[in-house]
A and B are shown apart, each in its own frame.
Chain A
Amino acid sequence: MSLFYLIVFPGFVFLVGFSLLSEYVDRKVTARLQSRIGPPFYQPWADFLKLLSKEDIVPERADKRVFSVIPVVGVTAVLTAFVYIPMWCSHSIHSFTGDIIVVIYLLSLPTLLLFLAGWHSTNVFGTLGAVRGVTQLFGYEVPFLLALLSPALATGHWSLSSIVNWQVNHVWFICYLPLAFAVTIICLQGKLERVPFDAPHAAQEIVAGPFAEYSGPKLALMRLMGDMELVTGSALIATLFLGGFDYFGTLSGFAGAVVGFIVFLLKTLFIVFILACIQAVFARLRIDQMVNMCLRWLVPMAVFQLLIIVGLKIAQVL
């Protein structure tokens, strides 16, 4: 039974489908903001299938084994992270105390894998993109961790399922921790390497960065990894701050689970919508400006949020 959960629903097959759907939502919202019509709903599928059918070119001087293994490891890492998020009831497929740390760690694997990909491409653009990616990691990882762990610090539980349970019984965390919500949204934009933080694969300066030498099925998997990361990150924020599958009203049994699941998906798409809006409105920041901004603004905001939590606990509100 758990093999079915892992591979079909809500595991691999479902995650691939949902991440391609969220890529569609992202591209459509961006297009509408730019006064364009945007692609039809099957466009991400079409792009994925087209890339699978193209020729697979590996550069001569690159390390073939590492080059080929990176996309597969990336997809696996993100899929494993998604499995721990509770989607329709108070325990995910496999939950344990401390799984929130595991999810955050698995989400930072794709950045390291992009670094390896750029390094092993033996292309100047790839190396530059790889180094920029790791530099950016210094900027956003600290506030991301601090802000994501605020709900855990507030409740005292260290498992995603228990945090969602707390929100079901009390109030969604966005009411108590708005600053952490804002910080996680901005840092997730940095982790996903989207504008304004897409210096690692800035098309106008270093043509595609680490992705430059990938083609065919490997590129399809790399892009799929990016989309799955988008979905997992948004689902994580929706779970921690917006209550996951919690909705106003109560239905019990199978119907309750279905409605909860759909509400969870809608909340994830809402976060994708916010990220798409941020992507359309800003220009790209230079790498040193990005790290500067993160360390100067986001870290104090996250720390201030922690102080607020301490204050609320002393006032016996939490």
Chain B
Amino acid sequence: MEEREISFATLPFGPQHPASSHFHALVKVEGEGVLELEPHPGYLHRGFEKLMEYRTHPQNCVLVDRICVLDPFANELGYVNAVEKLGNLEVPERGRYIRLIMTEFGRIQSHITWIGIMGMALGFDSICRIAWGDREKIIRLNEMATGGRLYPCYFCLGGTRRDISPEFVKLAFETLNYLEEQLDFYDRVFFNNESFITRTKGVGKLTAKEAIELGATGPNLRACGIDYDVRKDEPYEVYPKVNFRAITRVEGDAYARSLCRRDEIAESISIVRQLLRDLPEGPFNTEVNPLYAAPKGECYFCVEAARGELCFHMVSDGSPFPYRVKVRGPSFSHSLVEFPRLAKGAMIADIPVIYWSLDPCPADMDR
């Protein structure tokens, strides 16, 4: 019996790479086929959980934006809701509605950014430029309401820091109309593009059983046929008053995940319309002591970020500084567990496609 030596090359899918965006992995390839993919996390580790132990709650609210930059409102929403649940704090109705309006706009913005990056990973430069131009309109809305384009620093304990004006509501409706037209345009140019369908159909197939075992959440899970959306199954804020559905698909490949995200943009547009229509008058926050000390105890709060389930485990010991904050980032299981599993046996050309169809954010993988 003779032993055959398999010769392989190691490709870096490195942190400085046109397609990988701060995620480091080493790929063992033989010809065009991938033998193994070994992820190396930690490039973007900034130590948020430790930093948050030395800051009071108002200071943490402006810090927590940076955990996942592409969808900042979800981070803030999770943190303030965790502390409010611990301390049983009151939030007025208008504050809750404003929070959800901004969060859903953040979700639309995150998915539009994803459309651009997915196009870039496929070599389709045009859609990237056009999508990020449309994202600019939502970022202008952020600027109008919160004063910051990408880091809003908007939610605080008890509500929001500023109110929204009637001009904002008018601009929001105009932006929603524009986005609906653009969604039609993206359908024609991107989602119904034969080259896109050829590249993504059947690639990176995740079965329902694997998805649950490996901890997939968000659109990745719903594309495998499992109907689980934190907004519907464990609702928070005013989601019970809004009429929407969780988008599911059956196939579980990259194409299904892409279409899930596209349909989620349409659903979010409808949610924001309902929220803007039903926006109540009144105060937008309750006064909370800046050195607010949450009562002793712990609390685990999950929100549905654009990428999946973002959870905050807050442990308080009765002082103004949290004793321990553990953040469960949705991209942790996506990039470190599912991506290597799906990349095994694929071709090199499929690696960026699989990676970006899972929509991971290295920032919230590493925290």
Contact = CB atoms under 8 A, between A and B. Distances in A.
Q: Do chains A and B touch in the complex (CB under 8 A)?
A: yes
Interface of A: 30, 33-36, 124-125, 127-128, 195-196, 198-199, 202-207, 280-289
A284 B18 contact: no
A12 to B, nearest CB: 32
A205 B350 CA distance: 9
B192 interface: no
Given A35-B129, A286-B199, A207 B17 contact: yes
B320 interface: no
Contacts of A196: 123, 195
A195 B124 CA distance: 8
Given A204-B19, A207-B18, A280-B126, A285 B9 contact: no
Interface in B201-226: none
A205 B193 contact: no
B352 A204 contact: yes
B122 interface: yes
Nearest to A293: B198
Contacts of B196: 283
B356 to A, nearest CB: 9
B129 A204 contact: no
A201 to B, nearest CB: 10
Given A196-B123, A281-B193, 8 more contacts: A35-B130, A203-B123, A204-B19, A204-B123, A205-B19, A283-B123, A283-B124, A284-B122
B347 interface: yes
Contact of B123 (A125, A128, A207, A284): A284
Interface of B: 9-11, 17-19, 32, 119-126, 129-130, 133, 189, 193-196, 198-199, 347-352
Contacts of B130: 34-35
Interface SS of chain B: helix
Contacts of A34: 125-126, 129-130
B26 to A, nearest CB: 12
A205 B9 contact: no
Contacts of B121: 204
A56 to B, nearest CB: 23
28 contacts: A34-B129, A35-B130, A36-B129, A128-B348, A196-B123, A202-B123, A203-B18, A203-B19, A203-B123, A204-B123, A205-B19, A205-B352, A280-B126, A281-B193, A282-B124, A282-B193, A282-B194, A283-B123, A283-B124, A283-B193, A283-B195, A283-B196, A284-B195, A285-B198, A285-B199, A286-B347, A286-B349, A289-B199
A314 B120 CA distance: 50
Contacts of A280: 125-126
A33 B126 CA distance: 7
A71 B11 CA distance: 26
Contacts of A127: 9
Given A35-B133, A204-B18, A281-B189, A286 B350 contact: yes
Contact of A283 (B9, B10, B11, B199): B199
A206 B348 contact: yes
B349 A283 contact: no
A35 B350 CA distance: 28
A206 to B, nearest CB: 7
Contact of A124 (B9, B19, B194, B198): B9
Nearest to A285: B195
Contacts of B10: 124
A35 B124 CA distance: 14
A205 B346 CA distance: 13
B123 A198 contact: yes
A220 B144 CA distance: 46
A35 B352 CA distance: 25
B112 to A, nearest CB: 14
Contact of B349 (A36, A124, A199, A203): A199
Contact of B126 (A125, A281, A285): A281
Contacts of B9: 124, 127
Nearest to B355: A204
Contacts of A287: 32, 349
A138 to B, nearest CB: 15
B349 A202 contact: yes
B129 A205 contact: no
Nearest to B20: A204
Contacts of B194: 282
Contacts of B119: 283
Given A124-B9, A282-B195, A285-B198, A205 B122 contact: no
Contacts of B17: 207
Contacts of B352: 204-205
Nearest to B133: A35
A121 to B, nearest CB: 13
A284 B200 CA distance: 11
Contacts of B199: 283-286, 289
Nearest to B122: A283
Nearest to A202: B123
Nearest to A36: B129
A284 B124 contact: yes
A281 B32 CA distance: 26
Residue of B126, B196, B199, B350 with most partner-chain A CB within 10 A: B126
Contacts of A35: 129-130, 133
Contacts of A203: 18-19, 123
